[in-house]
Structure 1
């Protein structure tokens, strides 16, 4: 098998895994809606820590710190840009998809998927939850860190998953909102990395 065939096969496997994960998340939305509730999660220190992984300025600070460490190697500034632009682009993708999908956030009293008509504020994503912006940003940033520091990838993705969990616990999103966002966040940052960053030597 050639290198190209191997890469294509790997991407196909990842795509199948992503589709299965999204389908399973939708199947479990009702269970998560009923049993995974902690409305005070954002009042707890650990909850604020995890949610901040989906806060874009957090990645701006991380990118700045990386740039300061690597500023003697101008070419490596691409790594710092990846830490900022990967999450930023992903956040933009989330906002556009919310306007297109238009699925509302969970109703705490009734489990249902509700959608806002396009005629009702076509350019407003107020109250929309698919996909989760926080989760998309968190997983996009984690994907870049996983490229830079692969031995610690489990840590970056655990923090991103924690961010997703806070959004479900707070009833801000359905489980499927966060799983779709996780898949998209990793995809956007990985594609960005492969297109603009990968040719550089490791830091």
Structure 2
């Protein structure tokens, strides 16, 4: 029983509860709007730092060579993380496994479209940034003029297409299986390592690719509206 019933205090008490509820709702909405902004700000800061560090380390990493890396089974295993059809197979496996689940289409879309969009982004960025692949004999960054084959990315290496596809797939899988995400990230990092050892890319080519891949997957995830990561974390096992 409300002790203030029949008095003006009862109305004031109800109004205070309504105001408090409205305040909580407003704060929750503001927080929901702020979280994506905070994530993108953090991404920009982390990208600036790690890309800067990678450029400092490029002269050292350029000296690391293993010409036979892709003659090794482990080298081929790591490289195919950046092979686009690999992720078509993974998306198909998700599609077949998740029959009857509400997240079936959305998860398959995330696994398929993230690497595809990553590969497209890599090719477009190469045309924009125009930095060539490493020279085997002399270290130094070289760029191709826009007047020289403006629509050809032949010989360009920034960012690495293989690594961007690999990390896009890894970040997508990480959202679906958050407890196992570091397994996928390690495989993608291994793909990056092989590209450096093969002297196909500078270290910074691969780091830029990884950073762009995170952004690509975040945009694809927001677009398809999966929300799968949160549901997966709440599920038992």
Into which bin does the TM-score normalised by the smaller protein fall? Answer: over 0.9
Q: Distance in 2 between matches of 1:79 and 1:198?
A: 7
Q: Pick one of 146, 157, 160 that aligns with 2:188.
A: 160
Residue of structure 1 equivalent to 2:143: 115
Residue of structure 2 equivalent to 1:193: 221
Q: Distance in 2 between matches of 1:21 and 1:43?
A: 30
Matched, 1:173 2:233: no
Shift of 1:195: 2.4
Shift of 1:6: 4.6
- In structure 2, runs of 5+ residues without a counterpart are 1-26, 233-237
Shift of 1:7: 4.5
Q: Residues 109 and 224 of structure 2 are in contact (CA less than 8 Å); yes or no, is this contact kept in structure 1? A: no
Deviation per CA, 1:106-155, whole angstroms, max 9, x where unpaired? 00100010111122211111110000000000000011111000001111
More moved, 41-50 vs 74-83:
74-83
Q: CA RMSD in A?
A: 1.7
Q: Distance in 2 between matches of 1:75 and 1:131?
A: 32
SS class of match (2:163): helix
- In structure 1, runs of 5+ residues without a counterpart are none
Residue of structure 2 equivalent to 1:31: 60
Residue of structure 2 equivalent to 1:97: 125
More moved, 115-124 vs 134-143:
115-124
More moved, 66-75 vs 101-110:
66-75
TM-score scaled by length of structure 1: 0.93
Q: Residues 99 and 123 of structure 1 are in contact (CA less than 8 Å); yes or no, is this contact kept in structure 2? A: yes
Q: Residues 83 and 144 of structure 1 are in contact (CA less than 8 Å); yes or no, is this contact kept in structure 2? A: yes
SS class of match (1:116): coil
Q: Pick one of 65, 68, 93 that aligns with 2:96.
A: 68
Shift of 1:74: 5.8
Deviation per CA, 1:151-195, whole angstroms, max 9, x where unpaired? 011111000000000000000000000000000011101121022
Residue of structure 2 equivalent to 1:138: 166
Structure showing greater radius of gyration is 2
Shift of 1:199: 4.3
Q: Pick one of 124, 127, 134 that aligns with 2:155.
A: 127
How many residue pairs match? The answer is: 202
Matched, 1:150 2:178: yes
Residue of structure 1 equivalent to 2:7: none
Shift of 1:71: 2.7
Q: Pick one of 65, 70, 73 that aligns with 1:45.
A: 73
More moved, 152-161 vs 188-197:
188-197
More moved, 81-90 vs 115-124:
115-124
